[in-house]
Structure 1
Amino acid sequence: MPVYPAPTPAAPPAAAPALRRVVRGYLDHLTVERGLSANTLGSYRRDLERYLETLAATGVTDLATVGPAQVEAHLAALRAGDDGRPPLAVSSAARAASAVRGLHRFALREGLVGADASRDVRPPTPPRRLPRALPVEDVTRLLDTAGSARAAGDGAPLALRDRALLEFLYGTGARISEAVGAAVDDVDPAEGTALLRGKGGRSRLVPIGGYATEALRAYLVRARPGLVAAGRGTPAVFVNARGGALSRQGAWTILRRAAERAGLPVDGPDAVSPHTLRHSYATHLLDGGADVRVVQELLGHASVTTTQVYTLVTVERLREVWATAHPRAHG
């Protein structure tokens, strides 16, 4: 019997030019006015592209004709899966809902529509997950082993860089993007401070701490000049072996290598990540008696509500200590 090739799936209908103009305007707004990161913008762009496909498939050519039921149906389809696409996780669906709702709010502010069709649509609420913090002794072991595997011979400059990077992450609570984006002029080992450029174009000056200061000074004096000489003179503090700015992925690799040597998990839900050091930084500050408002400023959170999740971590820790130490904790 003759074998016929499988039919080629039909391409999704093209979105109307008017819809694409609104989406472009919204993404430009997020880039210029809101200063969102490239990763967030990329996610929003994909979410909105899928929304445009839904609108085109139902014959919508003007955002002004979209009603709440259509927005709800699109978001429900994301959670259920359709057209060979798997269902989105709650967190991804919540982000997609945020992108769609933001688009409609933007169109209303710009006078492109007469009402916000997404105003009463509620996105799914992601389950609240408490950030995982490492015990102080695990952080100490991680930092002590950073760079140790290449501390001899030609690896010495990279060993100094690795130690300086991880000390910097834990000593400042910086996001990984803030660490790899820091310039030499942003760091002042003499004053023990660093200028971090965070989300939304917000900057903050934070103390570095003695251990991180010493690690940075050793790296900047004894290692970075030789590494930079192999490249084109990047202003970045942390550079790779070719003399260019260290990437986020490169920083992840450095941490993963150090975690493996320290005997800490590098896979699964408890895997150590750059954000683990940031969580540990915040939790250890609160455990030491720091005010939550001060921690908010140090982390660069726009709202103290974001920071308060760490207070739940410390309450859980207090409960564990109480349960094991109090003579009448268990009946």
Structure 2
Amino acid sequence: MTSGAVDIAVAVDRYLRHVSIERGLSPNTVQAYRRDLGAYTDMLAGRGIHNPSAIATQDVVAFAHELRTRHERPLSASSTARMLSSVRSWHRFLLDESIVEVDVASEVQPPKQSMRLPKAISIEQMESVLSATDGDDVQSLRDKALLELLYATGARISEAVALNVDDLVDGDIVRLFGKGSKQRIVPVGSFARSAIDAYLVRARPIFSARGAATPALFLGSRGHRVSRQNAWLIIRAAAERAKLGLEISPHTFRHSFATHLLAGGADVRVVQELLGHSSVATTQIYTMVTADTLRDMYTTAHPRAR
């Protein structure tokens, strides 16, 4: 039995509470859902629709069409797909909660996206970036530890800056908390271990003394947890000092971690586990990067390849 009297705004709020509390999604993800659904419900209001049971499939189709064709700023296929994913998820929730009798968005497919291969840098280039953080001052020790950890674990930048000291387990294991607060355990190599140990002994106590007590692993100059924005700046500065002439982002470390592991013979399912991907299909895109590299090497080296 449906409860068609539920207002659209109320239904959206119920859904956002559901994804936040019951599914444990991060505040950033919940906020993204809020923005996407806000754009959708604004369009519905413009059509005079204020009740979920009044929404029809053609309304969802019209929203998708508007995103791709609006004159002021059409969205890319990936952005359109993301917003449609939010809409489809909300409609499934409406059905599951018996707010509506039919999921009118189930047949509306997102636009096909061109496959974008992740951008990794070579092992030599990565070594140059990591070497650019060499130094004995407290800032260099911290920056070295952060970048070595990113490359050693494939952690997302949000996962790295959210680490607490207690998340380092037995020195060579780190406990990362990914999307939806999913926990995974990732080994830490000897280079990263050495850099983190040096930072913990010689730099972190100095940073910590400048602010209130905090369990955060990586601290800024005032003793507070390093922010994602500061981490970006640390990476950008190291890339500039390395003089690679390339745009390096936090995700470059994650992409390079996966690509270098696969190129070294690691099993794709092991890499999936280390990256925290819920589906191996997401990880398999890195095998395409590795195959392209092998193809280039073959073409260059084999006398009958050209």
Same fold (TM over 0.5): yes
| Partner AA of 1:329 in structure 2 | A
Shift of 1:42: 2.0
Match of 2:217 in 1: 237
CA contact (8 A) 1:68 1:121 kept: yes
**SS of corresponding position for 1:161:** helix
1:280 matched to 2:246? The reply is: no
Q: What does 1:177-326 correspond to in 2, within 5 Å?
A: 177-188=158-169, 190-265=170-245, 271-326=247-302
Shift of 1:306: 0.8
| Partner AA of 1:67 in structure 2 | A
| Partner AA of 2:100 in structure 1 | V
Out of 119, 136, 150, the residue aligned to residue 169 of structure 1 is 150
Q: Distance in 2 between matches of 1:217 and 1:319?
A: 40
1:116 matched to 2:103? The reply is: yes
CA displacement, residues 107-138 of structure 1 (integer Å, 9 cap, x when unaligned): 00000000001010001122110111110000
- Which structure has the higher relative contact order (CA within 8 Å, separation 6+)? 2
Shift of 1:17: 7.8
| Partner AA of 1:315 in structure 2 | A
Structural RMSD (CA): 1.4
1:34 matched to 2:23? The reply is: yes
Shift of 1:28: 1.3
CA contact (8 A) 1:264 1:272 kept: no
| Partner AA of 2:248 in structure 1 | V
1:79 matched to 2:59? The reply is: no
| Partner AA of 2:236 in structure 1 | R
Out of 25, 29, 45, the residue aligned to residue 14 of structure 2 is 25
Shift of 1:233: 1.1
Match of 2:88 in 1: 101
Shift of 1:234: 1.4
How many residue pairs match? The answer is 302
TM-score, normalization: structure 2? Answer: 0.96
Q: Distance in 2 between matches of 1:43 and 1:325?
A: 48
**SS of corresponding position for 1:165:** helix
Tell me: CA distance 1:56–1:131, structure 2 relative to 1, closer, same or farther (3 Å): same
Tell me: CA distance 1:96–1:21, structure 2 relative to 1, closer, same or farther (3 Å): same
| Partner AA of 1:181 in structure 2 | A
Q: Distance in 1 between matches of 2:57 and 2:110?
A: 13
CA contact (8 A) 2:147 2:235 kept: yes
Tell me: CA distance 1:105–1:265, structure 2 relative to 1, closer, same or farther (3 Å): farther
TM-score, normalization: structure 1? Answer: 0.88
Shift of 1:35: 2.5
Percent of residue pairs identical: 51
Q: Distance in 1 between matches of 2:73 and 2:121?
A: 34
Match of 1:3 in 2: none
Q: Distance in 1 between matches of 2:38 and 2:207?
A: 42
**SS of corresponding position for 2:303:** coil
**SS of corresponding position for 1:205:** strand
**SS of corresponding position for 2:7:** helix
Out of 135, 154, 158, the residue aligned to residue 139 of structure 2 is 158
| Partner AA of 1:316 in structure 2 | D
Find the structure with the greater CA-based Rg.
Answer: 1
